[in-house]
Amino acid sequence: MALAKEIMGISLVEKSSVISSSKVFLNPNFYQKENQLCVNRQFQGRRNLRTRRVLRQSPMAAISENLIKVVPEKAVKFKVRAVVTVRNKNKEDLKETIVKHLDAFTDKFGRNVSLELISTDIDPNTKGPKKSNQAVLKDWSKKSNLKTERVNYTAEFVVDSNFGTPGAITVTNKHQQEFFLESITIEGFACGPVHFPCNSWVQSKKDHPGKRIFFSNQPYLPNETPAGLKSLRERELRDLRGDGTGVRKLSDRVYDYDIYNDLGNPDKGIDFARPKLGGSNNVPYPRRCRTGRAPTDTDMSAESRVEKPKPLYVPRDEQFEESKMNAFRTGRLKAVLHNLIPSLMASISTNNHDFKGFSDIDSLYSKGLLLKLGLQDEMLKKLPLPKVVSSIQEGDLLKYDTPKILSKDRFAWLRDDEFARQAIAGVNPVNIERLQVFPPVSKLDPEIYGTQESALKEEHILGHLNGMTVQEALDANRLYIVDYHDVYLPFLDRINALDGRKAYATRTIFFLSDLGTLKPIAIELSLPQTGPSSRSKRVVTPPVDATGNWMWQLAKAHVCSNDAGVHQLVNHWLRTHACLEPFILAAHRQLSAMHPIYKLLDPHMRYTLEINALARQSLISADGVIEACFTPGRYCMEMSAAAYKNLWRFDLEGLPADLIRRGMAVPDPTQPHGLKLLIEDYPYAADGLMIWAAIEGWVRSYVNHYYPDSAQVCNDRELQAWYAESINVGHADLRNEEWWPTLATPEDLISILTTLIWLASAQHASLNFGQYPYGGYVPNRPPLMRRLIPDENDPEYAVFHDDPQKYFFSALPSLLQATKFMAVVDTLSTHSPDEEYIGDRHQPSTWTGDAEIVEAFYDFSSEIRRIEKEIDDRNADTRLRNRCGAGVLPYELLAPSSGPGVTCRGVPNSVSI
C-alpha cells in the first residue's frame, strides 16, 4: 500500500484544488505526475498473486477511495472523453448506402449511438456497478461521408471523482444499420488512457435490443473480478451461449454445438444423402457450430442446406472481414473461370476429356489461353461479370500460376529422391514413420477384413540396403514407411465401384542413405481379398527396364493419390479444422473476454468458424469439391470419421509427442528440444521444433504469470468449464477415452494451450499453404486415380504396353477434374492481405493492460523473427540436402512471415483458410 499512500499524499496536497473545481482536477501538471506514477506501477515486476492483485487497483481507484474517506460529501464531477474508432466498409451496395445516409440524418434527431461507462466499483446506493451518464457519439452525421478506412468519433462523460476505474462500457446502436466497432479509448482518468479493444459488429437496437458490453483490456481471473463487473461478466457469457433453440440469424452472436448432419441433401435424391457424423460410437466426429435450421423433408434427422451464394450462419464476429472476403471471392471467381476454360475446350472435342500429354498441362500455365484457343469472345459472353472484363482481357484470371514444384526443375517430380523428399519436406510431412517390424503388420480386424499379411518380402528390398541385412537396417534406424493400408482398405470395395475411381491401399518403404536423404525401395499395392486364391496384393520395386519404369511411375502416382486423400481428409481438415472447432466454441461460451486465457487464445481462433462453415457448404458436402476431386469420392467424410475414431488422440497432437509416436524421434534430454530426430535433416520437424519451443516458452511465461500454483488452475471455474465442455460436449463421442490430459496444474495448462496454438498456427500452415505449390502440377500429386496398374493377363495391358504415356494420363484425373482441383487448392493456398502471422497481434500495444505480458509477447515476437532467419540460413546450407541442392525447393512452409498470395510460406495465427 506504499504506492497508494504516495498517491494519497499527492491527492492531499492537491485536495483543495481537486474539490473546488473540476477544471483544476484536470490540470495537466497533476496528470503528468499521476500518469507517471501509473506507468511506474504498471512496469513493476509481478512476482506473486498478492502483488498482482495490488497492482490491479488503479491510481484513480486509490484516489477515489481515499477521497470518499476524507471528504465524501464534496466529491465533484468532471469530464472524461471517449475516442471511438469505427471501421468503414470499402465497398457498399446501394441498400447499405441508402441506409447509411438515413442513419446520418436521423442521428441528428436522437436515433444515435450512445455509450455508458461502468466502474469496477459498486455504487453503495444502488448496490450495482457505478455508471456514468449516457453519452452520445458526436459528429456521426458530419463524418458519414468520409471514405477513410477508420473514422474516430468522440463522446464526453461526466463522472464523479469517486467513480473509480472504468472497467466496462455499454454501446447502444439506435441506427438502422450495424457498424464495426474497432476500439474505444477513455481519456481523462488519472491513471492514463483506458483501452477497450472491441473488434465487433454492433447491431441495431431494433434487431438486438440489449446493450452491447465491452470490457477494458485489463485481464482478470474469475475470482479476481472487481465487484462492479461480476454481473456483467456473467451476463455477457449467458448471451453468447444462448439457449440452444431457434434458427440463428446472421446478426446473432450465439455459440452452440451440433453434429455434422448438414453435409447431404436427401431431398435431392438418395445419391445426395450422407451419413450423419457425430452423435454415435459407430461414426464419431467433433461437433460443429449450430445453426438451428429446419430438417429436410425426407429425413428429419438431417438439417436442410443453405447453398451458396447464400451465407451459412456463424456468429457475426466470426465472419470474414471485408478484405478477407474480397480475397476469398476473388479465389472463387478464379475457380469459376478456371472450370469454364476446360468446359469450353471439352465442348469443341469429345475426345478432350483427358490430358493428351505434358504439353496440355503446361498450357494451363500459359498466358492468353483463351485467345490461343479462339474462345475469348465466347468466354466473355458466358460470363455475366462486367466488372471483371478488363481483368479477363488482361488474362490475369485466366491462367494458372506455375506451381513452385516446377520452378527449379520441371522434371523434379519424376525423380525418386524428390518423391521421397516430399514425405519429409512436402505438403504432407506427418505420415512417415520409422519401420520397426518387417514385414509391416495390419491392425485391421481379421474377422472382418481377412488375413492382412503383407506381400512385402526381404528379397524385395534386400538389394537396396547398401549391403545391410533387413534386421541391420531396422536396428540402425534406416528403414521408414508411409503406410495407408489400414486407412483405405475398409473403403476400397466401395471406392472402386464408383465411376472413374480406382485405388489401392498402399505401403511405401524408404531407405535412409548415408547422405541423410531417403529413397523409395518398394511399394505394396493392396486390394480387398475376393477369395482364398485371389491375387489381392502386389509389390512394385524400382525399375530395371522401360516397362518397369512406367509401372513404377504408376505405383508412385497411386501412393500420391492415397497421400493426397489422407492429407486433406485427416491431417488437414480433421486434425486442424474440425478438431479445433469445439475448443473455439467452448472458449467463447465459457471464457470471458477479460479472462487471461481468452486473451491468449483470441488471435488463434480468428476466422476458423467461418472457413469451416464454408467448407461444410461447398467443400466437404455431398457432391462438393472434395468428393469430386479426391479418391474416396462420396466416402471421403466417412473415412475422416474413421480416422477420428481410430487414430486421433489429443494427447499426441503436439509436435514432440507426434514425432515420438511415429518413431521419428526419441526422448533425449541433452538435445535442445528434449528429443533427438532420427533423420536429422527432417525439415518439417527441425523447423517445427523451433516454433513449438517458441510457442511453449511464450505460453509458459503467460501461464506462470497468472497461475503461480495448481490451486489457481483448479479453482478457476471458467477455465475448468472451458476445458470440460471442449471434451464432454465438443468431443462428446470420445469423452470417455483415458488419454485426455487432465487440467490440474500450470504445467497441464501449458501443455494443452501450446498444443492448441501449435495446431492452429504452424501445424495448419505446414499442411495448407503448399497445396498449390506442390499439388498444382497434377502429375506430381494426383488427388485421384482412374485406372489400376495392369498386369500381363489384363485386357488393358496391351494398351499400356503400346502407349504407356497415354495410359499414364488416362489414369490421372481428367482435364475437368484436374483444373477444378487446381482452382480450389490455389484458393486454399492463398494468403489474404489482412493475414495475421505468428508473432503478430492486432492492436499489439493495447490488447492487454498487463505490461509484463506485453513485454513477454515482444520477446516471443523477437524469437519468431530469429527463427525465420535460422530457417533462411538452413535453406542455404548445402549440407542439408533435403532443402538445398540443384533443383531442390527450399523448405519454407514454416517460415513465419509472408506477403499476400500463393507464396508457399507464412504461418498465420489461426486456421483461417
pLDDT tens profile 331-374: 655 665 566 555 555 554 444 578 888 888 888 886 544 444 44
Helices (H), 476-525: 485-488, 492-496
In whole angstroms, what is the distance from residue 430 CA to residue 483 CA? Answer: 12
Comparing 40-44, 631-635, 791-795, 829-833, which segment has the lowest mean pLDDT?
40-44
Q: Which three cell numbers stand for residue 80?
A: 472524461
**35 is known as an active-site residue:** no
pTM: 0.90
Helix segments in 591-646, DSSP class H: 596-601, 608-614, 625-629, 636-646
Catalytic residue among 558, 572, 595, 831: 572
- Ranges 364-378, 464-478, 569-583, 708-722: which has the least confidence: 364-378
Task: Identify the pLDDT of residue 582.
Answer: 98
Alpha carbon distance 776, 582 (integer Å):
32
Sole residue written with cell 443453405: 306
User: How far are the Cα atoms of 132, 649, 690, 754, 759 from residue 749, in angstroms, in the given order?
Assistant: 39, 17, 20, 8, 15
Residue 141 or 734, more confident: 734
Of the listed ranges 143-147, 406-410, 540-544, 592-596, the one predicted with least confidence: 143-147
- pLDDT digits over 174-187, tens only? 999 999 999 999 99
**Which whole number is the average pLDDT over 474-484?**
98
Grid coordinates belonging to 207: 434487431
What's residue 56's pLDDT?
A: 40
Say how far apart CA 684 and CA 225 lie, in whole Å.
43
Cell of 368: 492468353
Number of Cβ within 10 Å of residue 40's Cβ equals 10
Q: What is the mean pLDDT of residues 288-302?
A: 96
Query: Mind listing the domains of the chain with CATH numbers?
Result: 77-221 (2.60.60.20)
* Range from 55-59, 461-465, 585-589, 733-737 carrying the lowest mean pLDDT: 55-59
**Residue in the structure block whose three cell numbers are 537396396:** 464
Q: E strand or H helix at 660, and its extent?
A: helix 655-661
The answer to whether the CB of 275 falls within 8 A of the CB of 261 is: no
d(CA 301, CA 324): 34
Supply the DSSP string of 233-274, one letter for each residue.
Answer: HHHHHHHHH--S-SPPPTT-----EE-B--S--GGG-GGG--
The one catalytic residue among 764, 853, 867, 875? 764
pLDDT, tens digit, 9 for 90 and up, residues 204-225: 999 999 999 999 999 999 999 9
Q: What's the pLDDT band for 28 if we cut at 50, 70, 90?
A: very low
b/e string for 341-371 if b means 16 or more Cβ within 10 A? bbeebeeeeeebebbeeeeebeebbeeebbe
Question: Rounded distance, CA 788 to CA 781, Å?
Answer: 16
CA angle centred on 633, ends 631 and 635, rounded to 5°:
110
Can the peptide bond before residue 309 be classed as cis, meaning omega within 30 degrees of 0?
yes
Which grid coordinates belong to 51? 502483488
How crowded is residue 464: how many other Cβ atoms within 10 Å of its Cβ?
A: 17
Let me know if 764 is a catalytic residue: yes
**Residue 23 corresponds to which cell in the numbers above?**
477544471
CB 573 within 8 A of CB 640: yes
Q: Which of 75-84, 253-262, 457-466 has the lowest mean pLDDT?
A: 75-84
Residue 5: pLDDT band (50, 70, 90) is: very low
| Residue 519 CA neighbour count, 13 Å, CB half | 12
Question: Is there a catalytic annotation at residue 567?
Answer: no
Out of 195, 338, 577, 705, pick the active-site residue: 577
Residue 464 designated active-site:
no
CB atoms within 10 A of CB 531: 7
Q: Is 844 helix (H, G, I), strand (E, B) or coil?
A: coil
Rounded Cα distance, 57 and 650, in Å? 39
**What percent of the chain is modeled with pLDDT above 70?**
85
Instruction: Confirm whether 562 is a catalytic residue.
Output: no
Q: For residue 349, what pLDDT is reported?
A: 47
Give the angle 359-363-364 at the CA atoms, nearest 5°: 125
Residue 399 reports pLDDT greater than 90? no
- At residue 293 the predicted structure's pLDDT band, cuts being 50, 70 and 90, is very high
In contact, 330 and 783? CB cutoff 8 Å: no
Torsion angle, CA of 58/59/64/65, rounded to 10 degrees? 70
> Is the peptide bond preceding residue 890 cis, with omega within 30 degrees of 0?
no
Residue listed under C-alpha cell 518398394: 522
Q: Which of 258-262, 529-533, 630-634, 882-886 has the lowest mean pLDDT?
A: 529-533
In contact, 340 and 376? CB cutoff 8 Å: no
pLDDT on residue 85: 96
Q: In Å, how far are 320, 610, 723 from 613, measured between CA atoms?
A: 11, 5, 23
**pLDDT of the residue at 43:** 34
User: What residues contact residue 528 under an 8 Å CB cut-off, 6+ apart?
Assistant: 449, 489, 492, 493, 536
pLDDT(619) > 80: yes
Short-list 440, 642, 457, 451, CA closest to 528: 451
- 648 phi-psi bin (left φ>0, alpha ψ -120 to 50, beta other): beta
Integer Cα distance of 558 and 550 in angstroms: 12
Write out pLDDT tens, residues 144-197.
Answer: 888 888 999 999 999 998 999 999 999 999 999 999 999 999 999 988 999 999
- Among 162, 173, 768, 882, the one annotated catalytic: 768
Report the b/e string of 759-770 with b at 16+ CB within 10 A: bbbbbbbbbbbb
Strands of 14-76, DSSP E:
none
> pLDDT tens-digit profile of 727-754?
999 999 999 999 999 999 999 999 999 9
User: Which one is predicted more confidently, 832 or 577?
Assistant: 577
User: How many other C-beta atoms are found inside a 10 Å radius of the C-beta of residue 811?
Assistant: 24
Report residue 221 as a C-alpha cell: 481471473
* CA triple 649-651-652, angle to 5 deg: 70
Top-confidence residue, 82 or 446: 82
The mean predicted confidence, pLDDT, of the chain is: 87
